[in-house]
Structure 1
Amino acid sequence: MTSQHAILTVEAHRDLRINSARDGALGDGQMCCITVPTEFRAVQSAYPILFRLNDARDRYTALAMFGFENGENLFLDAGTWDAGYRPLAMDVQPFLIGGGPDDDAAKQVHIDLASPRIAADGTGDRIFDETGQPTPYLERVAEQLGALDEGYRASADFFEALQRYDLLEPFTLEVTLDDGSTNRLVGFHIINEDRLASLDGAAFAELNADQHLLPIYMAIASLAHIGDLVARRNRQLARG
């Protein structure tokens, strides 16, 4: 689907409403989304966090994983998202911040007018109230967008530290499900725990002082949820 981004204004969008149900047809059918280190503590409560290298830009991104294949979100269940926390990149849709993430200019809230979340039947969450003021819903989204933008901008130092200490290693997972089929995750990276443990005290102190140590351990802890993804996939298979 082609995006149609526009700066959000009360003049143009006073009557818009947003469908906040959770469904693949509304854009939630994704196997993963971008997450940022400042969010890792919340994300690791439910999702594995893996890293992927963008070869064209020689830059890593962190991803919260929802499934094993494109279009698979194992947390969707009858119009709800079955987890206590949704990553910011999913929760803010169909809103985004205009401008590049490395742009220091003042940011504005944009909306994707082509999003299936734009409610056409008069139902859903209002963006502006009858007087043209932002609703609590829009105020919450604006805060989330700010947190996501700030986290993304700060993530460059985090990934630079991971590369400086060579803490990322390739990761491939192959899982045999209850029906005998095989699911694979390929092309990702995880924290190399042995290499992390071998760092000297000065390196640990530096990582801690730069506030990188906590998200590193959160990413490691999140890998326990890979088993949860497998269990969710098997339950889905059992239901047919």
Structure 2
Amino acid sequence: MSDHQILDSVAHRDLRVEPGADAELGDGVMACLAVPSEFRRLQNSFPILFRRDLERDVFSALALMGFEQGENLFLENGRWDAAYRPLALSIQPFLVGRPASGDGPGQVHVDMGHARIARNGEGMRLFDDHGAQTPYLEVIAGQLGELDEGYRGSGAFFAALQRYELLEPFSLDVELDDGSTQRMVGYHLIDEDKLRALDAAALGDLHAAGHLMPMFMALASLSNIPALIARKNRRIGRG
């Protein structure tokens, strides 16, 4: 059960966090939230897809790491098998909180009910003996800030995609070496043909707003789908 608390150098002086990569620590997910500002780093390893929340009629971006719920093909024997780890996973068990009014700067919160909270005296310290932030916490705070800023700014990116009708539904039947099929449905991707057909004014608008590069990165990331299927087949082969 979640237990969100404002991180405090006194109350959490002795708190330690498990930094490793493991399904039991919260990494056992087939996809996680991604923000446009990290697409350049994500596209080297992960397919970037888009999903629509039908109730709120809003889109979000996802870094794909598996083909079924609870499957992360980048977890290998207790290590993270990719050059980059998505921000949404890297920052756990921390999150950005704000006053109930929604105004004011964000605060670092910690979920004391998260599996990454160390219970055995091991793990990474957040504060030193004098109450100062450790280098580990400084890195986490930077990642939280980047994720929060990226999330808050992503609305304009998705609005541009919809304004120019650049998102198209995507589905894929993945045939695996053992004869089974994994079906991917309910996703969207950027329509490359429509993007290529935009006139100079539209492309200029997207470039000036900083949206064009993340779109290219999302398209480039689709070349990782065959590699992700190969990871799945290797996992099947090992039983």
- TM-score scaled to structure 1, two decimals? 0.97
Flag structure 2 segments of 5+ consecutive residues without an equivalent. Answer: none
Rounded to whole Å, the distance in 1 between the matches of 2:102 and 2:224 is: 35
Match of 2:166 in 1: 167
Mapped pair 1:9 → 2:8: yes
Structural mapping, 1:1-240, within 5 Å: 2-99=1-98, 103-240=102-239
Rounded to whole Å, the distance in 2 between the matches of 1:225 and 1:104 is: 40
Secondary structure of the 1:141 match is helix
Secondary structure of the 2:170 match is strand
Rounded to whole Å, the distance in 2 between the matches of 1:99 and 1:55 is: 26
Aligned letter for 1:72? E
Evaluate the alpha carbon distance shift between residue 98 and residue 45 of structure 1 in structure 2; reply closer, same or farther with a 3 A threshold. Answer: same
Aligned letter for 1:238? G
Rounded to whole Å, the distance in 2 between the matches of 1:220 and 1:117 is: 33
Rounded to whole Å, the distance in 2 between the matches of 1:7 and 1:138 is: 14
Matched length: 238
Secondary structure of the 1:13 match is coil
Query: Which ranges of 4 or more aligned residues in structure 1 deviate by more than 4 Å?
Result: none
Flag structure 1 segments of 5+ consecutive residues without an equivalent. Answer: none
1:21 is displaced (CA, Å) by 1.2
Rounded to whole Å, the distance in 1 between the matches of 2:174 and 2:77 is: 26
Aligned letter for 1:80? R
Aligned letter for 1:131? H
Secondary structure of the 2:223 match is helix
Rounded to whole Å, the distance in 1 between the matches of 2:104 and 2:148 is: 12
Rounded to whole Å, the distance in 2 between the matches of 1:45 and 1:18 is: 28
Rounded to whole Å, the distance in 1 between the matches of 2:111 and 2:77 is: 25
Sequence identity (%): 57
Aligned letter for 2:166? L
Rounded to whole Å, the distance in 1 between the matches of 2:14 and 2:27 is: 24
Rounded to whole Å, the distance in 2 between the matches of 1:164 and 1:127 is: 44
Aligned letter for 2:192? E
1:68 is displaced (CA, Å) by 0.5
Deviation sequence 1:167-217 (CA, Å, 0-9, x none): 000000111100001111110000001111111110001100111000000
1:99 is displaced (CA, Å) by 2.8
Aligned letter for 1:29? G
1:103 is displaced (CA, Å) by 3.6
